Amino acid sequence: MTWVELLAESAWRGSIVLAAALAAAAGLRRTSAAVRHFVWTAALAAMVALPAALLVAPKWSWRVETAEPVRAAVAVSQGQVGTILKNTGGKTTGATNTSTEWVVGLWVLGFAAVAARFLVGAGRASWMAPRAAEARHADTMLEELRRGMGIRRRVRVLESADAAMPLTWGILRPVVLLPEGAGQWPPARLRAVLLHELAHVGRLDLVAQAIAQAACCLYWFHPLAWMAARQLRKERERACDDAVVSGGVAAPDYAGHLMELVRALAARRSRWEDAPAMAEASDLERRVRALLDGTRSRKPLSRRAAMAVASAAIAVLLPVAAITAQAQATRGSLVGVVEDASRARVPNCQVTVNGLDGPGQWAARSNAAGEYSFAAIPPGRYALEIRAPGFAAFKRDTTVAAGKTARVDATLDLGEVSETVVVMGQKPAGDTPPAAPMARPPHRIRVGGNVQATKLIHMVKPEYPAELQQLGVQGTVVMRAVISMSGELLNLDAVNADVDARLAKAALDAVDQWKYQPTLLNGQPVEVVTTITVDFQLGQ
């Protein structure tokens, strides 16, 4: 699985996870906001973990029947461009690679832009803490509330002119940042604010926020990921509101404090701050409604509820990552690589398979890497044939099993060269020799690609023996030989036994002196088989 395929698989499978989270959150609308916040946290964590789960999870599959395709020859290019060896110098080419590079580049740009947005916000929050002053007026109240909420980590409370809203920053060493002038607040408002911010610390909301930001970076193109992050922020603030009310602050009073904070400070809040802030104007109306709704549950997240939500998330994640629908399980695949004798790949070969157990023919061409593929053909026996200019046809029978991939790698041999020579003699008067066979014109196979065909550069024409002309003997001598890498004929011999031996000798003596320019394969001379026909004919 390529990186782009992994990201695409994670995106559409992640949609299932987020849809399940949306359904769960809707079903838990009468439960506390803390439970719904954890549902969204678990869903976004599953999104982040999904690529790794796709790589390591065992695959479960089921078979899905599909309709039979039309059994006709279709000349299309199948398969993906793989690693190109030797004849392409190890470089991949083509539209598939170009489009893949564009997709990768676009994703990297989006990832970088979103990550930069989050990093700038985090950097600004980190920059404010060292420059803030200790809020001594809030230390005593903070310690009292921290112990009452069971928070063991030390929490500092600071006051900064750069903090437009009360906010919390830091996971291991948390800091509560109050706006400048917080020392003039009424004790009730300060208590409500500290309760809200300590709730962020105790609930580890910054960890959940980091998970949401990681999911948005990975899936910046996925609208459901941003929707989930937005819902997580809303439920986070409502859960902290519930913690404030549960801590003894009256809901109407706390709603009033929220309204005052938004009215006084919302206009100052920087858009680049990236820490949990207490008063968000965008969702203020719904938060106030939730505060004043006495029927809502305000219970914090219990260990039992957290285990149940985490188990449910794992129960959704594993099948989503593991299940693979084998839509072609009732079919099989046939793949292979085409090479020449020098082990270089041969591109653009015509590849056909013909069914031996019934009608049906499929066709494809090898890609730039010499790879061919038939992704979904019915199981059975097939006759595979591969042709390329300048090479002899490769033929082999193979069997394709349902749900399996058969592999046939082919090595193409060079095509044979043929020459035909007609030697005319004088027909004796009054003699009627047997009819001579039709002379065939010289024929040489045209080659392409990396094959340069052989060429006859020196020819000695056979002589028709006079005695055989007088006797009316004629015939055709068929010879086979190997054109060596130096262009000489090796193992020259007549292959037809029905010709007069004296004609055969005359042909062999002449042809043995022929000289060729050798065949070149990828620029190197190679041996090739040739057939030479010498036709002795008697004329009038």
Q: Domain containing 463 — which CATH number?
A: 3.30.2420.10
Measure CA 320 to chain center.
18
Q: Is residue 327 situated within a structural domain?
A: no
Kind and range of the H or E run holding 335? strand 332-340
Q: Is residue 108 situated within a structural domain?
A: yes
Q: Tens place of pLDDT for every residue, the chain, 540 residues?
A: 577 788 888 898 999 999 999 999 999 988 999 999 999 999 999 999 999 988 887 766 555 444 444 333 333 333 333 333 333 333 333 444 566 778 888 999 999 999 998 888 888 878 887 888 888 888 899 999 999 999 988 999 998 888 778 888 888 889 998 988 888 889 999 999 999 999 999 999 999 999 999 999 999 999 999 999 999 999 999 999 999 998 888 988 888 888 888 776 655 555 445 556 555 556 777 888 888 888 888 899 889 999 999 999 998 888 888 776 444 457 888 999 999 888 888 898 999 999 888 777 888 898 988 899 998 888 889 999 999 888 889 999 999 988 789 999 999 887 666 677 777 777 666 554 454 444 444 444 333 346 778 889 999 999 999 888 888 888 899 998 989 889 898 888 998 878 888 999 999 999 999 999 988 887 788 888 888 999 888 876
Residue 201 to residue 239: CA distance in whole angstroms: 12
Residues 187 and 82 in one domain: yes
Residue 336 to residue 19: CA distance in whole angstroms: 41
Residue 185 to residue 474: CA distance in whole angstroms: 124
Q: What is the pLDDT of residue 272?
A: 41
Q: Is residue 326 situated within a structural domain?
A: no
Three-class DSSP labels, 229-286: HHHHHHHHHHHHHHHHHHCCCCHHHHHHHHHHHHHHHHHHCCCCCCCCECCCHHHHHH
Residue type at position 27: G
Residue 380 to residue 285: CA distance in whole angstroms: 67
CATH number, domain of 388, equals 2.60.40.1120
- Which residue pairs, CB below 8 angstroms and at least 24 apart, start in 62-69? 62/323, 62/325, 62/326, 62/329, 63/326, 63/329, 63/330, 63/403, 64/325, 64/326, 64/327, 64/329, 65/330, 66/327, 66/328, 66/330, 66/331, 66/376, 68/378, 69/376
Residue type at position 63: R
What Cα–Cα distance (Å) separates residue 84 from each residue in 126, 199, 370, 376, 389? Answer: 50, 58, 8, 24, 20
Domain end: 383, 412, 441, which one?
412
Q: Is residue 370 situated within a structural domain?
A: yes
Residues 305 and 422 in one domain: no
How many CA atoms are closer than 13 Å to the CA of 16, on its beta-carbon side? 14
Q: Is residue 168 situated within a structural domain?
A: yes
| Number of domains comprising the chain | 3
Residues 138 and 281 in one domain: yes
Residues 284 and 150 in one domain: yes
Pairing of strands 332-340, 410-412: parallel
The DSSP annotation for 169-221 comes to E-SSS-EEEEETTGGGS-HHHHHHHHHHHHHHHHHTHHHHHHHHHHHHHHTTT
CB 459 within 8 A of CB 531: no
Q: Is residue 39 situated within a structural domain?
A: yes
Domain end: 274, 291, 321, which one?
321
Residues 407 and 423 in one domain: no
Other CB atoms closer than 10 Å to residue 352's CB: what's the count? Answer: 17
Q: Is residue 381 situated within a structural domain?
A: yes
Residues 168 and 296 in one domain: yes
Nearest to 464 by CA among 504, 515, 492: 504
Q: Is residue 450 situated within a structural domain?
A: yes
Q: What is the pLDDT of residue 275?
A: 54
Residues 250 and 394 in one domain: no
Query: Taking the model in full, what pTM does it have?
Result: 0.56
Q: What is the pLDDT of residue 515?
A: 93
Domain end: 321, 355, 374, which one?
321
Residues 291 and 371 in one domain: no
Token output for 196: 């809200």
Residues 170 and 287 in one domain: yes
User: What is the domain extent for residue 446?
Assistant: 417-539
Residues 388 and 455 in one domain: no
Q: What is the pLDDT of residue 234?
A: 92
Residues 429 and 304 in one domain: no
Q: What is the pLDDT of residue 428?
A: 64
With vertex at residue 523, the alpha carbon angle to CA 518 and CA 526, rounded to the nearest 5 degrees, is 40
What Cα–Cα distance (Å) separates residue 448 from each residue in 10, 173, 441, 514, 518? Answer: 44, 72, 22, 25, 16
Residues 256 and 160 in one domain: yes
